[in-house]
Amino acid sequence: MNAYVASVIENVKRKHGSEPEFVQTVEEVLTSIAPMVDKHPEYEKVDLLNRMVEPERMFTFRVVWMDDGGNYHTNTGYRCQFNGAIGPYKGGLRFQKNVYPGIIKFLGFEQIFKNSLTGLPIGGGKGGSDFDPAGKSEGEIMRFCQSFMTALYRYIGPDIDVPAGDMGVGGREIGYLYGQYRRLKGTFENGVLTGKGFSYGGSLTRPEATGYGAMYYLQEVLAHEGEDVRGKTIACAGFGNVTWGICKKARDLGAKVVTLSGPDGYVYDPDGVSSSQEKIDYLVTMRNSGRNLVQDYADRFGVAFHPGEKPWGVKADVVMPSAMQNDVHMEHAKQIVENGVKYYIEVANMPTTNDALFYLMGQPGMIVAPSKAVNAGGVAVSALEMSQNSERLVWSAEEVDEKLKGIMKNIHKVSVEAAEEYGLGYNLVAGANLAGFKKVAEAMMEQGAF
Ligand code: 2IT
C-alpha cells in the first residue's frame, strides 16, 4: 500500500474514531485508489488526500417543531458540503433517528465519487436529521420540514447546494421543504431541490430512477458475462423507494424479485414481488403506512415471513442489498458464497462491511458491483431535473429514461476501463473508485489550494 494513502487512512482513524461508518468508506475508497496515487506523486505534494477527506464545510442546526398535542421537540439538522470541485454540492437528506455526523459524512464522501461517475457536473453533499418519521402525523411531518428548511434555506441554492431525498425523505417531504424555501426566498427557484413533484418542476422517472438505474447496470454486468436478465431470480432487501423501482423494472425485463426485508425480518415470495402490479403497489402502501413492518406483505399475500432474519440465506441468481448500510456482514457473505451466487450487486449506500466486501471480491467467479456505481442513476436523474429546471423545460419520461440508460452504461464502461488501466481486470469496485476519483482530483489540482 502506498505510504501516503496509509498515512491518510491513519489520520482519519485517529480523528474519527467515533464515526466508524466514515472511517469504513474512507478505507474502502482510498485502498482502491492507491495505485493511482502511486502514479501521481504530485497528489502528495499538495496533500490532496487529506483535503479530500476533510469536508469543505459541515454544520449542524437546531430544528424545533411542535407535535399535534402541543408539545415541543428539538432535533439536530445536518448538512455536509463535502466537495464542490466539479459542481454545486448535491446529495440527499436522510431523516432517521440514528442519524449522527458519522452517517452524514460517510454518505457525503460516497456521494462525491458517485456524482463524479455520473459524468454530470455535481459535487458531493449530504444532510439530514435525527428526526424519526415513524408514526408522525401529516401535520407533524409538515411542521418539521418547514422548521428544517427555515434553518437551512440561506445556505443552499440552485448553484450552491441542491438537496434531495434519502431514507425518510420522499416526494411529500420535498414538497413541504420546497414550499417553505419558496415562501422564505420569495422566488421560484425550484432548482434548489430535486425529487420534486412533477407539477412544480420534478422530473419524470426520478422516483423510479435509482431502481431502474440499478437494473440497467445489472444488465451491463450480465452482458459482460454473456448472460441475460430474463429469468433471473433476485434477492432484494428493504421495501422502500429503491426496491420498488427494482421490482418495477425487473417485471418489465422478465426477472423475479423474491425477497424483501424490514426491521422485523424478511419475506420470501417464490412467485416474485415483481409478478403483479398489486404487489408492487403494495410496497408504496407499506411505506406510506409508517408502520415499517415487512410482515404486512406476508400477511397480505400469504407468503412466508421469517422474523428477525435477513434474506441472505435465500438461493438466488443475483443478490442486491438495497436497504441500508452494513446490512451484509461476514457471516452473510459466507452464506451468499455457499449458495453459489455469482452476482453480488450492492444498491444501498455501503450495504457491506469492509471485511465482507473484500471477502466477496476475493471469491473466484464472483462479480461484485459497488453501490456508488449501481445506485448512481438516482442522483443522475436529479442532475437531469436540475437541467430541466434551469432551462425551464420538461423532458418526456422516454427522454429521461434513455438518458438514464446511457449514463448507467457509461458508468459501467468507465469503471471497466479504469480498472483495466491499472491492470486490475474486471474489478468494478476499484474501477468505480478510480474513475470517480480521477475527475475530482483533476478539478482540485487545477483549482489550487482549497
Ligand atoms: O444516495 C443518493 O444518491 C441519494 N439519496 C440521491 C441524491 C440526489 O441528490 O438525488
In order, the DSSP letters of 54-116 are: S-SEEEEEEEEEE-TTS-EEEEEEEEEEEE-SSSSEEEEEEE-TT--HHHHHHHHHHHHHHHH
Taking the CA of residue 107 as reference, the ligand 1 atom at the shortest distance is 1
AA letter at 225: E
Share of the chain above pLDDT 70, in %: 100
Residues 6+ apart with CB under 8 A from 362: none
Residues labelled catalytic = 126
- Tell me which of 109, 210, 212, 407 to substitute to probe ligand 1's pocket, judged by most ligand atoms within 8 Å of the beta carbon: 210
* Residue 391 buriedness (CB in 10 A; 0-12 / 13-18 / 19+): exposed
- Residue 83, strand partner residues: 124
Which residue has a Cα nearest atom 4 of ligand 1?
92
**Is a pLDDT exceeding 90 seen at residue 1?**
no
- Tell me which of 382, 386, 388, 400 to substitute to probe ligand 1's pocket, judged by most ligand atoms within 8 Å of the beta carbon: 382
Residue 378 in contact with ligand 1 by CB distance below 6 A: yes
Q: What does the pLDDT look like over 368-426, one tens digit per residue? A: 999 999 999 999 999 999 999 999 999 999 999 999 999 999 999 999 999 999 999 99
Looking at residue 24, its pLDDT comes to 98
Is residue 290 very low, low, confident or very high in pLDDT (cuts 50, 70, 90)? Answer: confident
Is residue 199 very low, low, confident or very high in pLDDT (cuts 50, 70, 90)? Answer: very high
Which residue has a Cα nearest atom 9 of ligand 1?
91
Q: What are residue 199's phi and psi, to 5 degrees? A: -65, -20
Instruction: State the chain's mean pLDDT as an integer.
Output: 97
| DSSP secondary structure code for residue 164 in this structure | E
Q: What does the pLDDT look like over 24-80, one tens digit per residue? A: 999 999 999 999 999 999 999 999 999 999 999 999 999 999 999 999 999 999 999
**Is a pLDDT exceeding 90 seen at residue 104?**
yes
Taking the CA of residue 115 as reference, the ligand 1 atom at the shortest distance is 3
Residue 261 in contact with ligand 1 by CB distance below 6 A: no
Residue 115 in contact with ligand 1 by CB distance below 6 A: no
- How many Å lie between the centroid of ligand 1 and the Cα of residue 148? 18
Nearest in space to 151 (alpha carbons), one of 174, 126, 128: 128
Is residue 450 very low, low, confident or very high in pLDDT (cuts 50, 70, 90)? Answer: confident
Taking the CA of residue 94 as reference, the ligand 1 atom at the shortest distance is 5
SS3 content of the chain, % helix, strand, coil (to 5): 55, 15, 30
**Is a pLDDT exceeding 90 seen at residue 437?**
yes
Residue 241 in contact with ligand 1 by CB distance below 6 A: no
- Tell me which of 106, 111, 347 to substitute to probe ligand 1's pocket, judged by most ligand atoms within 8 Å of the beta carbon: 111
Taking the CA of residue 165 as reference, the ligand 1 atom at the shortest distance is 5
Residue 373 in contact with ligand 1 by CB distance below 6 A: no
Tallying the residues shown for the chain, one arrives at: 450
Q: How confident is the model over 228-255, as a mean pLDDT?
A: 97
